[in-house]
Every structure is written in C-alpha cells, then in structure tokens.
Amino acid sequence: MRANRRRDRWFPYVVIAVLLVTLAAGTINNVVRNPQPRLVSDGRPGGSALTADSSLSSNDLLHGALTDLDGLTLPNGATLAGWNGPWRYVWPRDASFVAAARCAVGQYSQARDVLSFLDRVRPAAGRWEARYTESGERVADGREPQLDSSGWVIWAAWFCRVGDRYWELVRESADQIVAELGRDGLPAASPDYWERTEKTPTLGTVAPLLTGLRSAVAIATQLGRSDDAVRWRTALERLSAATDRSFGPEYPRTPARAVGFVESGVQPVGTGGGRDAIVTVLGPPFAPARPVVSTAIERAHAVLTQPNGGVTPGEDWRTDGVSWTPETALFALSAAARGDQATARRLLAWLADHRTRSGALPEKVNRDLEAAGEAPLAWTASLVVLTDAALRGSLPIPG
C-alpha cells in the first residue's frame, strides 16, 4: 500500500519530465532542420539607405513600395520577382499584382508595359509556365507550369480595365480554366504559390481561378461577347459550388478529409488540409464578401500569426517561426478591403518596421525579427500598394 502511494506521488512528475524532454528535443530538432534564414540582398537597385531615425509612416511605406517596383521593372516591361539569383525571373502571378498595383495609383502606362510583357509570353494553349526570363523565355528548371496564373492575369487585365486590349490573353486563359475543370467541378492538381508539386487541387489554385473567371465574365459582358460570358459564367458556377462543397466552411489548403455534423440542422465542420493564407483571395477585393469566408479568413489569420508578429503561408508550412511578408500583406489587403482598417494598418506598420536598411521590403522576417530572404520583393511591394489604396478608398471587386 505504501509503495503504491509513493509511486502515485512521483509518477506524475516523471510523466511531466518525459513530456518536457520530448518537447525540448522536438524544438531543437525543428531548429536544426529549419535554421534561421538571413538576408540575401540588403537593398534595392539604385536605392539609398534609410537613416536610423527615418519615419516609417504609411506615406513612406507606399513611396518605398513603389520605389521597389521601379527598381524591379525593366524597360521591356518585365517585372522581376526579386533582383538576385533564383528570384531574378518574371512570375506571371507576381507580375499580375504589379500591374494591378500600378493601376491602383494611376500608373497606367507602367501597368500596360507589364501586361504587354505577359501578353507576349502567354501560352496559346495549356498552363502558364511557373516563371520566365527577363527576355520572355521559359525557365527550364524542372518547375511544372502553374494553373493559378490563368486566373491572376485575367484579374489584372480586368482591374486595369484593359480587357479589350488584351482580349486574346483573357480568352485563352479563361478557356484554359474551363478545360481544366473535372467532373467534380474542380481543376486538376497544380503547383501554386507554394512552388511545390501537389497531388490534389489546392485553394492556392482554386481561389485565383474563381477570381479569374469572375473577371473574365465581367470583361466579356462589357465587350458584348455573350457566348464567352455564358460559357465562363457556367464554369464559374460549377467551380464555386465545388469549392464550397469540397473546402467549406473552413476553406483549408486542400479539401477537407472528413466532414461531420455537430447536430441536425447545424452547418457541417470540415477537418484536415490546414489553414492557408490564400483563403484571403476568397473575399474582398478578389470576390464579393460572404460571412462564412470572412470568418474563415479571420480564423486563418489567428492561426497563422507567428510569435514575431507576421504570418506564415500555412499550417502545413515549415514550423520555424519565420514570417513571410507576401502572406502578411495579403491579410493586410484583405482586412482593408473588408473594412477592418485597424488590422490593416497594424500589419502595414509591422511590414514597415521590418524593412531592410535601404528601406526595401524583404521576403521574410526571421525569429530574431531580422529582415531575411530576398529584398526587395515585387509581390510584397504590390500588395502594400494595393492595401494603401484600399485604405484610401475602395478597390473594385469582380463579380
């Protein structure tokens, strides 16, 4: 009896000690597997350094973001994702955001240069390449073509109100989306902004395609191309229904692996897939607001926020405590477009506080709150410009 009592006293402490050792070992292993990223490039082409007491007001941040885009845009309209090494290419996704950002501040000529470059390299059939060289050639590095670009380029043309000028780009990209939809209404698996091979459709592809089809319908309707408008609207309705059915109501990165009902009449709860920052693209300014989507966005933001204050791409991303500035800026844009100015301004202030010494917006912020990765980064700069525009007024929403 006494031995049992002694065991009862020390047993909980042994369990706690084992758990603490396991947790520490897991943390150490994670740090070893995911070392702190460092800054690749501290500056922008032709940029000047910030002084230690430089103001980080929203006007300064906007000016800096536009300066980043100026530095990354070449005379032929090619907008590089970054200035160095593996970033020194044109991603159709990033370039589409650059064009939209230019139009948001009235830089229409610069936007047309970007769109004209995309128009020159567009595929006559099939998916867009993941990236192109600054002269417009595909990059043969083993990356698969990425379907989400078909949605983004249409959205950029619609946003800039030049769908007539780039009609072939719009038509071919929209028809490619339609061709990709399977019997279940979803597209085939494709790499997305995570830049990895996927086995199932992801929200990173589906959300941009929804935006692209909405934009294509709007362009075709405006141009009086009723047959195209009807065909694309039908595809939009199929894809929208399939997205809600397969991803809703939480809208994780991949379709929920299981769905259960809490009780009769209560909305089903999906599990699996992990939250993803791209859920922001299901709401304003990319799609009309819906309460269920707004809730999913807010929950994803809470889950994906890192200890350093920024956002990681997704729950299934590396668990390393590193924040990525494009994803942080996506949540800022989403908040601004949905009327949550406080959250948008807070995230913009965080981005401003973690610029490089030259004032450039970096790709990442590491666990030590240091700018890391490539700087400047075109996608982040574009999102900052769009967020500022949303805070100053309203951005157009396709649909």
- Closest of 301, 295, 294 to residue 275, by C-alpha: 301
The CA distances from residue 68 to 49, 73, 349, in Å, are 13, 9, 17
Summarised one tens digit per residue, pLDDT across range 74-93 is: 999 999 999 999 999 999 99
C-alpha Rg value of the chain to the nearest Å: 23
| Helix (H) or strand (E) segment spanning residue 371 | strand 371-372
Please say whether the beta carbons of 156 and 100 come within 8 A.
Answer: yes
Strand bridging mode 371-372 / 258-260 = unpaired
Positions in the chain whose pLDDT score sits under 70: 1-34, 43-58, 257-272
Q: Residues of CATH 1.50.10.10 domain(s) within the chain?
A: 76-247
What confidence score (pLDDT) does residue 27 get? 43
Task: Give the H or E element holding residue 270.
Answer: strand 269-271
| Sign of the Cα pseudo-torsion (9, 14, 19, 21, in order) | positive
**Three-state secondary structure readout of 169-196:** HHHHHHHHHHHHECCCCCECCCCCCCCC
User: Which sign does the torsion angle of CA 186, 191, 194, 200 carry?
Assistant: positive
- Beta-carbon contacts of 172 under 8 Å, excluding residues fewer than 6 positions away, are 122, 123, 124, 125
Tell me what pLDDT residue 4 has. Answer: 53
Helix (H) or strand (E) holding 259: strand 258-260
Q: Which residues of 60-81 are buried (b: 16+ CB within 10 A; e: fewer)?
A: ebbebbbbbbbbbbeeebbbbb
Closest CA to 101 of 291, 379, 344: 379
Helix (H/G/I), strand (E/B), else coil: 20: helix
DSSP reduced 3-state for 310: coil
Q: How far apart are CA 320 and CA 27, in angstroms?
A: 9
Round to whole Å and give the CA distance between 338 and 119: 32
Task: Provide the residue count of the chain.
Answer: 399
The structure tokens listed for 275 are 């939250």
| DSSP H or E segment with residue 364 | strand 364-365
Return the exposure string of 244-280: e unless at least 16 CB atoms fall within 10 Å of the residue's CB, then b. eebbbebbbbbbbeeeeeeeeeeeeebeebebbbbbb
Q: How far apart are the first and last CA of the chain?
A: 74
pLDDT value of residue 399: 85
Predicted TM-score (pTM) of the model is 0.87
Using CA atoms, how far apart are residues 310 and 326, in angstroms rounded to an integer? 10
Looking at residue 125, its pLDDT comes to 86
Specify the DSSP class assigned to residue 134: T
| DSSP string for residues in 152-165 | HHHHHHHHTT-TTT
Ramachandran assignment for 85, one of left (phi > 0), alpha (psi -120 to 50 degrees), beta (any other): left
Q: So what's the pLDDT on residue 42? A: 72
CA 348 – CA 340 distance, rounded (Å): 13
Give 79's strand partners. 73
Amino acid at 167: W
- 123-166 tens-digit pLDDT: 988 999 999 999 999 998 999 999 999 999 999 999 999 999 99
Question: CATH topology for 76-247?
Answer: Glycosyltransferase (1.50.10)
Please state, in angstroms and rounded to a whole number, the distance separating the CA atoms of residues 209 and 281.
10
